[in-house]
Structures are given as structure tokens and as C-alpha cells.
Structure 1
Amino acid sequence: MTATLTTPDVLIIGAGPAGSACARVLARAGVDVLLVDQHPQGRDKTCGDGLIPDAHKALARLGLLDDVMRRAQPVSHVGCVGPRGGRIDVPGTLAVLPRKELDALLLQAAQDAGARFEQARFEAPLEQDGRVTGARLKRGDDIVEVQARWVVLATGAVPKALTAAGMCERHTPSGVGLRGYVKAPQMVGRINALEVVWDKALRPGYGWIFPAPDGHFNIGVGVTNSHKDVAGKGRKQDVNLRAIFDAFVAKYAPAAELMRVGELVGELKGAPLRFTLTGAKWTRPGLIVTGEAVGSTYSFTGEGIGKAMETGMLAADALLAHRDDDAAARAAYEAGLTALKPKFKLYENANRVNTHPWLADLVIWRARKSPRVLRRMAGVLNETSNPGNLISVRGISRLFFE
């Protein structure tokens, strides 16, 4: 059975941070927005749950920072731990809130602003004369056609929707992660930072422990460059996330203690990641791709919540500024993404630490001796300065001669 929903100005596919942020900005400006997702409101999302400074900035613009922080676990530092046990705490404005809670809050905020929400799955775009004019959705057993002036695709790292829309340039992920939640009230106060750990046993990845609200901890491992790209298809490298997780627990004493004294809540869950604004076309007539679908996650650390919201708001800004000019709206959005590229490049350069963890020892050793190096590391995290490429050949040489 085929039906037709009320025609919105903008149809947004995907109600994660990017889609909900885009919907809230547009709806607050009076735009008729229909936001759809294949999952019901309050669905879980495999993620590290860390809210770094760019996420705080995005939430502040959305008018949601106070609401989020009332629920989140505030954190003041990222604890970087090297293979030899050296540690440096990098200060920042940080917090942790499970994605199930964060995404539900963002989606509700979009609806509070006036956006409509429907549970439905994207099947294919509708097109006329080379322009996207809406989408074909599956809702239950019904096929629903929705006409819209614009379609925004915010469907995350899984490439199925990108492929259906003709926007996918890389079918395999840039990286993969595995995380679990552990309830361990006895560890509260003992793990206070967003701890990120490198060790040769974790190559080509890293481990993390993030303190979450209510005596819970988010623990996991990530591997960047998990798939070698070959003509856009790629193939998986020889990595086993569960083996890396077990190595993390065996090698890092706080992780071992957390798993020993705590209670694993649910199962360990894995997820793909898309990095560095690559792997998908950004726009085509009538269509904008945003969030992790467009590669809004940082390599090196896998942080992506803030940049997902930021790219979603860039899409909204472009549509609001050029409501009746397709080419101008797409150009404005693409210019906004291009302006973000240098920030992604810093994290891409630093990504070599995951393959060569001894570099973490080097940077940690120098930062412990040099307040200036520590300020440069904080500058990367807080986006308050352009501290240069710490993990480039030139950057490493500067560590010794500054």
C-alpha cells in the first residue's frame, strides 16, 4: 500500500544529533520540518558518550546545554596514558551522557520547537528532472511517499541510505568501536577523567574509560583505519575488537579493576565510524548529507557528537539563508564543511599515535615538562587556538627544541 504524508518544507532522515539539531534550528525559524527515523524515540546508540568542548558549544546554541548538564557527568580533564604508564591530564570543558538519553533529549527538543516526528525507514529518494524532491519511506507494512522542498540525510555511519541516495563514495567504515557500560559505584571518584590509553597490545587502536552518571562507566576500545580503502569498497584489516578489548583490560589496571568489581550492564556492542568529512558526496540538487553520514567524526579519538550537531546546524543555516536558491544553499553548506577541514586534519595527523603508540609516550613526556606543550594540547581539545600539528615530523622536532 502506498500513501502520502503531508508535504513538509524539509524532510530530515535520521534523528540522531545531526538530524535533531538541524530540525530544531529550522523549526525555531518557522520552517515546516518532518523528522523521521527507523527507530523509536529513545533508541540506544553505540558510542563513547563523551561531550567535548565542540559539543558544549553546539548544545549552547541549541539552548540545551543546561538541560544536558543537569543529566550528564561533568568532567574536567582528558587523561592521556602512554604505553609506559606516563600520564598527562589535558584540561577541557567535558561531560559524559549516554547517547540513549542525549538523543532522546535532542529529538524532544526538535519536536518542542515545532518539528514533527515519524518512525519510518528511508528507502529511496524521489526525483524529478535530476533534483531530489522527497523520499520513499517504509512505515510498518506501508510505503509512504513524502514530497519536500529539501531532503537532509543524517543517517549515520551505515552506508545503506547513502547508497540508495546515490551519495556513497566509501562503503566500508573508517573505523570501528566496541563499548560497554559497567555499573561500579565503588569506582566513583577513582576514575574522574576521560581516560584514553595507548599500548602496543592495543595497536592499531586505543582504549577508554569515561565516567558516566549514577555510578556507571563507559568502557571500550576503538580502531581507526580499520578498513583499507580500495576503489571505494575497502577491505577489513586483520583486527579483532574483542581481542583488543581483552588486551585493554589485561594491560590497564583501572580497566581490570573496573571489570572485576563492577557489573556489566547489557552486552558489549560494536559500531562503525566514518571520519574526516570523507566517504560521501556532500550535496546534490535538493539533497544535503550531514552528520556522521558525511564523515563528521574525528579520527584518532572517534569523537563525533559535537561535529555531528555542528554540521546539522550548518545545513540548517544554509537552507535558511538561501530558501529558494538550490545552488546557493548547497554552496553555502559545502563552504561551511570546507572551513571545518583543518580541525579534522589535526586529528588525522594525530591518528598515527594509534599505530605507533610510542609517540604518545613522547608527547606525554614533553607535556609534563612544558606548560606550553600542554597548552597546545588543550588548544586542540578546546578549539581555542590553532596549536599546529603536534604529531607531524615538524611537530615532533619542535617538542625537543621549543
Structure 2
Amino acid sequence: MTAPPSPLEPDVLVIGAGPAGSACARLLAQSGRRVWVVDQHPMGRDKTCGDGLIPDAHHALARLGLLDAVMARAEPVAHVGCIGPRGGRIDVPGSLAVLPRRELDELLLRAAIDAGAHFEQARFEAPIEEDGRVVGARLKRGDELVDVRAPWVVLATGAVPKALQAAGMCERHTPSGVALRGYIKAPSMVGRIKALEVVWHQAVRPGYGWIFPAPDGCFNIGVGVTDSHRDLQGKGKKKDVNLRAIFDAFVAAYKPAQQLLAEGQWVGELKGAPLRCTLTGARWTRPGLLVTGEAAGSTYSFTGEGIGKALETGMLAADALLAAFDDDTAARARYEAALTALKPKFDLYERANRVNAYPWLADLLIWRAKKSPRLLKRMSGVLNETSNPGNLVSLKGLARLFTE
């Protein structure tokens, strides 16, 4: 084993250069901590995602001082368009944007580096442990194994469970959901698809489809299923889900998707990815180590939105370390308390996931929202995290639809 020649050994070793890892690294570096960010991919790598930036992402980017930089490159959007199985539609207002993850993640990582973090392209192999505490990580850089010691390690390795398993943090090996997305360049469709369009239909049950307008005349199109595996004592069993068949069914059922494919050209190919949702499936901490972002399950069930909460959980990890860096017990307790405080929101989105299983609920909500400004305001509140998404589809909530 040989140690890297530079820079100095870090105070915090962040594994993963996605939104959670880069957000954590930026805050730590801004506060004067020596931070390494390690990722097996080079800067600017792609990530399968819907690319939607909803209000929670805007708030997180503002705290990081990066909202203006992101919005200068993103496609601004004014509404989420909710489309039901019968073709009904309601546009829910919000502060929204779309920026492909390749660009967003590079911008976030560069911001962490600008704050003083060091980026290293290497693969995480395993934690280094002494007396029951993580004190660094073994990395693979090319053909070389490298031991890097650090008082703290932050795992921000996304939905693939390999790093969690290596660190002894994985409680659920299979994902909560799966998604498939691609990009189509179609300048003729600019202005015809202006919202973040989310489509529920019997043909794509138990999932949903989406089309999001991206910069430069491109569109992000995809399908997701946020309950794709049955949880059997921590060992998920895959349901009968064929994402490509669901994608084809979505295109066949939704005319704008047909037009997009007919008038545009594919940029790359369709790519699939797992999702880890509801802040479940992994231990959050152990001595010397914190798990954050999608590795900790930071994606919302029902919507599959995860960028904002990945950023937020990464910043919560940084906050905990900055508050109690030299007190392992206190830092871990602070971080676990912060995630526990978030957990009820995730549980409510899990309840709202029944819309994906029963698309007629979307028809009912859209029908009533067209007649009720109060309901539309509540739906906008779900987007802005000021309303309870679970209540929209609870028995009590459904009963209220006929009185509002």
C-alpha cells in the first residue's frame, strides 16, 4: 500500500461526487476543513435522473450559494403538469427548472473544489477500521490500492448498494424503485411542452411517465416505478416490472410523447437506474462514518424526486460534523436526529404513492382541482413542501374533495 503524495490527509473523506457528496464537501471546505471528494467516475459523469429541480432543490442551492449559477444554465419551468388517465390536466405552479445531471453534478463538484476540496478519481473498496471505528478508506486508483486515513468518512455513493455493503451499512440490497430515461433533441417541440409533465395512465401502472423540457431544445423523457420490489425481511424481490415495456406503453398512450419521438432525435440511449427511497434501506451512521444522499434513501417515493433531498441530507451531514467534529457520539446523534426529523415527510410521500397503483385517483384530484382553487393551492403546497401529500389521497382527504 502506498499513500497519495498530495495533498495532506483529509479531515473528511467524502465518497461520491453527486449532489449529496459535493454539497457536504462544499460546506465543510468553506469552514476550513480539509476535504477529499472521491468518485470512481471522472468529473462530468452522467447520472440517470429526471433532472427536475423542484423548490427544495432551489432552497438547498441557495444555501450553497449556487442557485444563480445553476439557473443561468438550467431551463426555467413555471408548472408541473399533472395528466390523468382520461387526459385531464392541471398545471401546478412552482419554482422549477431542469438541468441535466451531467452539468449539474459537474457544477456542484467544481463549487466544492473552488471552496478548497480536493477531488480524487478512485473507487471505494472498504473502510479502514480500528477499535470498532472507521478511520479512513481503502481506495482503488487505477491498478493501485491506496489507504487514505481520515477522522470521518461520508458515504454518498447513490442507489447502488455495493459501497454500503462493503461498509457494513446496507439493510436492504434491492432498490425501492427503478427508472428509465433518455434525451431527445426536438427544437420543434419547444414551447409546446413547457411544464414538467407527469403522466398517470393504466398502461404504465404501477408507474408513471414524464417529459421535462431541458436546455438547448432537448427533452428528458422517461418512466419510473417507485415500488418495484417487495421487501421480504430486507431482501427485496423484484415485481413483474419491464421498464422498456412501460416506456413503450407510455409513448403509445400519450400523444405528446409520440410527437416528441416522431419530430426529434435521440441524444444517446435510454438508461435505467435504481432508486432508494423513504430514508430506509441503510444504517445512517456508525463510529467514524455517516451515510447521506440516495445511499441513505433520500429520494421521495411517489414522485421519484431526489436532487433536493440529496443536497439537503449532504448539508445536514456537514452541519453535524461542523458542530461536533471531535465528538463522535454527538456528531452522529445530531445527524441521526436531523434525518429522523425529515422522515415523516418521506412517509407521507410513501402514502401518496397509491396514486401510482391506482391512477384513477389522479383523475379525481385533477377533476376537483380544476373546480377548487383551494385544492390547487394544496397541490402547490405539496410541491413546495408546505402541504401533506399523503392527505390528498387519504380517505379523509378524498372526502374533502367533494366539499372544497
Match of residue 31 from structure 1: 33
Q: CA 1:386–1:360 in structure 2 vs 1: closer, same or farther (change >3 Å)?
A: closer
Match of residue 312 from structure 1: 314
**How far apart, CA to CA, are the structure 1 residues paired with 2:53 and 2:185?**
20
The AA in structure 2 aligned to 1:286 is G
How far residue 2 of structure 1 moved from its aligned partner, in angstroms, is 3.9
Match of residue 329 from structure 1: 331
> Would you say the 8 A contact 1:157–1:293 is kept in 2?
yes
The AA in structure 2 aligned to 1:3 is A
The AA in structure 1 aligned to 2:147 is E
**How far apart, CA to CA, are the structure 1 residues paired with 2:373 and 2:341?**
29
Q: CA 1:388–1:266 in structure 2 vs 1: closer, same or farther (change >3 Å)?
A: closer
Match of 2:56 among 50, 54, 57: 54
- Structural RMSD (CA): 1.0
How far residue 4 of structure 1 moved from its aligned partner, in angstroms, is 4.9
Aligned 1:86-165 pairs, distance under 5 A: 86-165=88-167
Give a deviation string over 1:231-266, Cα, whole Å, max 9, x none: 211111001100000001000000000001100111
**How far apart, CA to CA, are the structure 2 residues paired with 1:200 and 1:353?**
11
The AA in structure 2 aligned to 1:376 is R
Match of residue 197 from structure 2: 195
**How far apart, CA to CA, are the structure 1 residues paired with 2:390 and 2:142?**
51
> Would you say the 8 A contact 1:137–1:144 is kept in 2?
yes
How far residue 230 of structure 1 moved from its aligned partner, in angstroms, is 1.1
Q: CA 1:156–1:191 in structure 2 vs 1: closer, same or farther (change >3 Å)?
A: same
Matched, 1:3 2:6: no
Matched, 1:227 2:229: yes
Aligned 1:197-346 pairs, distance under 5 A: 197-346=199-348
**How far apart, CA to CA, are the structure 1 residues paired with 2:339 and 2:395?**
27
Q: CA 1:385–1:231 in structure 2 vs 1: closer, same or farther (change >3 Å)?
A: closer
How far residue 393 of structure 1 moved from its aligned partner, in angstroms, is 1.6
Match of residue 369 from structure 1: 371
**How far apart, CA to CA, are the structure 2 residues paired with 1:212 and 1:388?**
29
**How far apart, CA to CA, are the structure 1 residues paired with 2:144 and 2:33?**
27
Match of residue 177 from structure 2: 175
SS in 2 for 1:210: strand
Q: How does the TM-score come out when normalised to structure 1?
A: 0.99
Match of 1:378 among 377, 380, 401: 380
How far residue 367 of structure 1 moved from its aligned partner, in angstroms, is 0.8
> Would you say the 8 A contact 2:348–2:388 is kept in 1?
no
**How far apart, CA to CA, are the structure 2 residues paired with 1:350 and 1:331?**
30
**How far apart, CA to CA, are the structure 2 residues paired with 1:57 and 1:80?**
23
> Would you say the 8 A contact 2:300–2:346 is kept in 1?
yes
Give a deviation string over 1:279-321, Cα, whole Å, max 9, x none: 0000001000000000000011110000000000000000001
How far residue 395 of structure 1 moved from its aligned partner, in angstroms, is 1.2
The AA in structure 1 aligned to 2:218 is H
> Would you say the 8 A contact 1:297–1:307 is kept in 2?
yes
The AA in structure 1 aligned to 2:3 is A
**Greater CA drift, 224-233 or 314-323:** 224-233
> Would you say the 8 A contact 2:40–2:124 is kept in 1?
yes
Give a deviation string over 1:32-67, Cα, whole Å, max 9, x none: 001100000000000000000000000000000000
How far residue 398 of structure 1 moved from its aligned partner, in angstroms, is 1.6
How far residue 364 of structure 1 moved from its aligned partner, in angstroms, is 0.7
**How far apart, CA to CA, are the structure 1 residues paired with 2:176 and 2:88?**
29
SS in 2 for 1:400: coil
**How far apart, CA to CA, are the structure 2 residues paired with 1:86 and 1:380?**
19
How far residue 345 of structure 1 moved from its aligned partner, in angstroms, is 2.0
> Would you say the 8 A contact 1:198–1:206 is kept in 2?
yes
How far residue 342 of structure 1 moved from its aligned partner, in angstroms, is 2.1
The AA in structure 2 aligned to 1:296 is S
How far residue 102 of structure 1 moved from its aligned partner, in angstroms, is 0.2
How far residue 7 of structure 1 moved from its aligned partner, in angstroms, is 1.7
SS in 2 for 1:389: helix
Give a deviation string over 1:369-397, Cα, whole Å, max 9, x none: 11111111101101234576111122111
**How far apart, CA to CA, are the structure 2 residues paired with 1:267 and 1:111?**
31
The AA in structure 2 aligned to 1:290 is T
SS in 2 for 1:18: helix
The AA in structure 2 aligned to 1:327 is T
> Would you say the 8 A contact 1:159–1:293 is kept in 2?
yes
What residue ranges of structure 1 are gaps of 5+ in the alignment?
none
SS in 1 for 2:136: strand
Match of residue 67 from structure 2: 65
Q: CA 1:237–1:40 in structure 2 vs 1: closer, same or farther (change >3 Å)?
A: same
**How far apart, CA to CA, are the structure 2 residues paired with 1:381 and 1:56?**
12
**How far apart, CA to CA, are the structure 2 residues paired with 1:285 and 1:267?**
42
SS in 1 for 2:294: helix
SS in 2 for 1:3: coil
> Would you say the 8 A contact 1:275–1:297 is kept in 2?
yes
Match of residue 14 from structure 1: 16
> Would you say the 8 A contact 1:3–1:142 is kept in 2?
no
**How far apart, CA to CA, are the structure 1 residues paired with 2:346 and 2:331?**
23
Match of residue 402 from structure 2: 400
The AA in structure 1 aligned to 2:22 is S
Aligned length in residues: 402
Identity %, equivalent residues: 80
**How far apart, CA to CA, are the structure 2 residues paired with 1:395 and 1:151?**
43
